[in-house]
Amino acid sequence: MKVVNGKTLAAMFVEGAHRLKANAARVDALNVFPVPDGDTGTNMNLTMSSGVKEIEHAGLSHAGAAAKTFSKGLLMGARGNSGVILSQLFRGFAKGVELEDELNGENTAKALQSGVDMAYQAVMKPVEGTILTVAKDAAKAAKKAASNSSGVEGVLNAAYEESQAALERTQDQLPALKEAGVVDSGGQGLVYIYQGMLAYLRGEERPEIDEGQVLESEENFDAAHQNLHDQLDPADIEYGYCTEFMVRLSEDSQPFDEHVFRRDIGRFGDSLLVVSDEDLVKVHIHAEHPGEAMTLAQKHGSLMNIKIENMREQHAALNHRENQEEQPAEAPVVPEGAYGIVTVSMGDGIKALFQSLGATQVIEGGQTMNPSTEDIVAAIEASTSETVFVFPNNSNIVMTAEQAAEVADKDVRVIPSKSVPQGMAALFVYDSTLAADELESTMNESLKEVRTGQVTWAVRDTSLNGREINEGDFMAMVEKDIAATSPSLETAVLEFLPQLISEDVEIVTVLAGADADSAVTEAIKTYIEENYRDVELEVHEGGQPIYPYIFAAE
């Protein structure tokens, strides 16, 4: 096929997303560290699914408009580093063809390169041997094919074939991949997307999906998104209806002023999110009278994809507060004019700790449950403060938080905490009397003062840094380095503690997870009290999944 229009391009995107979804579990399994939190495939799948929701029924014939609509869906649905990079690849692609009615071989190749350029710009320190390299090499092959007068199918075929070769080369570019016997997971996900897009052009049969492979992760993410609405008692909800809809702009509504529209519709509620392009406006708002918001929006065009949910009834049905006296103390009331604080965490105990430290919004998420850009934006917009600090508390959420900061209509400062202990350390020095710039600098500095230890288990046999690890073994890590492994949880923990607790450590905080063992917890207390008499020890019930123990050494 030499040339494609917007409808064909949309179908290619949908097929690429489907091919990725069919193989998401395989991509998840490519995690270098054999821990039970491999979520690259899940993150990329859910990011692509967000794009599909935007484009699938848009019916856009203009190729540039179709690409832009798809990229916008990816932008708001991006989860994890892999999802953010993927959204930037397609954002750049859309920029490269925004004025094109149709795609040919030449502008398709240019768009692929535009996507690579934008993705590299989004990453602070690009690493070769990752999805970035796969995309870059594929774009080079596409350019060469275009110079030989290949059409869209020929260009995409060249990109796909080179992406496969580039994927295999990632093992030579990153020694950790070779030692673990895997290729880069993000690169593999991108190969599946290219494969699906090409398959559509060739008319190949769509593969079946084992829904069981993806159902659990999607349910987890749905639960995480729902928890964004679960933070208030039903009686405290001022605007009771979660309202989402799209507006297809009419010709006489042009030019559409998004800033004015956001200001006007904002009178009807809170948690407002507005995203628009030349043709469509997507709105999310918590309103007490949804009809008023939609009546205003209808002045600009026709309404589509309307969804209204009664949050009070949802809260009552979920019955999250049936044992009120056993719940953690409510978060302190933040005085008017103070900064908003958004944190990400998993586990009721850790959530309560962050609330006690002043968090005004806690997003349920972390390993295996990375929140999307839209989730973080909603939490930011829910704050009554104009300046909001965001703590990702996970290295795989930092880029998503930074992307949310760009989208949100507030002054957002991301404190790049890569673990729960780092987030806690930053909030320990939080001082609302400081100017925003000074406070940001102070909290950033505090991240350097804490070392993170985590204990989990191996999900497969592997070899890392010369250490043989067997499936089911417990692994204790200091930052990103594996410090001890053992079939025994207690042995793994006690062997790694001397590597975590250096001479200058004054405080050790232990967060016991859902899979913690009370006998092991007591052994940890005894070991530290006997061997580190000058170290202050705090033990909290964190309730986090996957990691039986998380340690903070300060």
Mean pLDDT by 10 residues, the chain (554 residues): 90 94 85 65 90 89 94 89 91 94 95 94 84 95 91 95 94 82 90 95 75 39 39 58 80 75 86 68 81 87 76 54 42 55 89 88 79 90 90 91 90 93 91 90 93 88 80 89 92 94 91 91 94 91 89 92
pLDDT confidence of residue 227: 41
Residue 326 is given by DSSP the state G
Q: What is the pTM of this model?
A: 0.69
Residue 173 contacts residue 207 (beta carbons within 8 Å): no
Question: What per-residue confidence (pLDDT) applies to 273?
Answer: 67
Q: Which CATH class is domain 326-444?
A: alpha beta
Peptide bond into 255 cis (omega under 30): yes
What CA–CA distance (Å, rounded) separates 467 from 542? 30
- Residues 6 or more apart from 438 whose CB is under 8 A from it? none
Q: How far apart are CA 54 and CA 68, in angstroms?
A: 10
**451-553: CATH class:** alpha beta
For residue 357, give both structure tokens: 């430290």
| Separation between Cα atoms, residue 15 and residue 49, nearest integer Å | 11
Residues of the chain with CATH 3.30.70.260: 238-311
Residue with tokens 């084992």: 210
Helices (DSSP H) in 278-369: which residue ranges? 290-298, 311-318, 348-356
Whether residue 132 contacts residue 147, with contact meaning beta carbons closer than 8 Å, is answered with no
DSSP state at residue 535? S
Q: 3-class DSSP state for residue 187?
A: helix
CATH 3.40.50.510-classified regions of the chain: 326-444
* Predicted pLDDT of residue 35: 59
What integer pLDDT is reported at residue 310 of this predicted model? 72
Per CATH, domain 238-311 is 3.30.70.260: yes
pLDDT of residue 316: 54
The per-residue pLDDT for 37 is 55
CB 30 within 8 A of CB 183: yes
214-227 burial string, b = 16+ CB within 10 Å, else e?
Answer: beebbebbeebbeb
Confirm or reject CATH 1.25.40.340 for domain 6-218, answering yes or no: yes
Which residue reads 């190729």 in tokens?
63
pLDDT at 332: 41
The set of residues, in sequence order, having a beta carbon less than 8 Å from that of 17 and lying 6+ positions away, is 45, 48, 49, 51, 52, 193, 196
Strands annotated E in 330-386 = 340-345, 361-364
Domain with CATH 3.30.1180 in the chain: 451-553
Going across the sheet that includes 411-414, the strands are 361-364, 340-345, 387-391, 411-414
- The 3-state secondary structure of 421-447, one letter per residue: HHHHHHHHCCCCCCCHHHHHHHHHHHH
Domain with CATH 1.25.40.340 in the chain: 6-218
Q: Which two tokens stand for residue 266?
A: 């904002």
Return the beta strands (E) in 220-347 as ranges.
Answer: 241-249, 269-276, 280-287, 301-310, 340-345
Quote the pLDDT of residue 331: 41
